[in-house]
Amino acid sequence: MIDPEESSRYERFRLLLVSEAKCEEVGHAYFIAKKFYPEKTGDEICEVVMDALLELLDEDLILFYRAGPDTGYHLELSEVEPRAREEIAAVLKQCTWVDPPDQILFFLETEKGVAHLGNLPPGAVPRLADML
């Protein structure tokens, strides 16, 4: 049986990932997870990040793209070429990887993700700054 409290916590983690999806490297998701779930092991962090990011991708709340460091942090949604789910799943399953410097994997909120966050009541999305 799924613990309702843990399920609610996981949903807040997912919301935090969407809210942080502003042209961020995928490694940022692991940093967020370590702050959000300090009690989890490295393997558990990898699993929760992979599950959450793939779910958010499947729900069209975020997308993934590759770019170099000079442009990747500053692209608009209309400027990126979304990567295939299969590629993303394979990368996330590895949990540790080194991207070529000109092909860093980033994630970004979609229009649907922005709208989803905008429909939530104030305070529904945790703030990363509060965890630091």
For the entire predicted model, the pTM comes to 0.90
Q: 22, 6, 9: which is closest to 117 by C-alpha?
A: 22
Give residue 126's pLDDT: 86
Give residue 4's pLDDT: 61
Q: 62, 57, 54, 41: which is closest to 92 by C-alpha?
A: 54
Contact 83, 64 (CB under 8 A): yes
CATH 1.10.3510 for the 4-116 domain, yes or no = yes
Q: What is the pLDDT of residues 57-104, one digit of tens each?
A: 999 999 999 999 899 999 999 999 999 999 999 999 988 766 777 789
Domain range summary for the chain, segments of one domain joined by +:
4-116
Which helix (H) or strand (E) covers residue 106, if one does?
strand 104-109
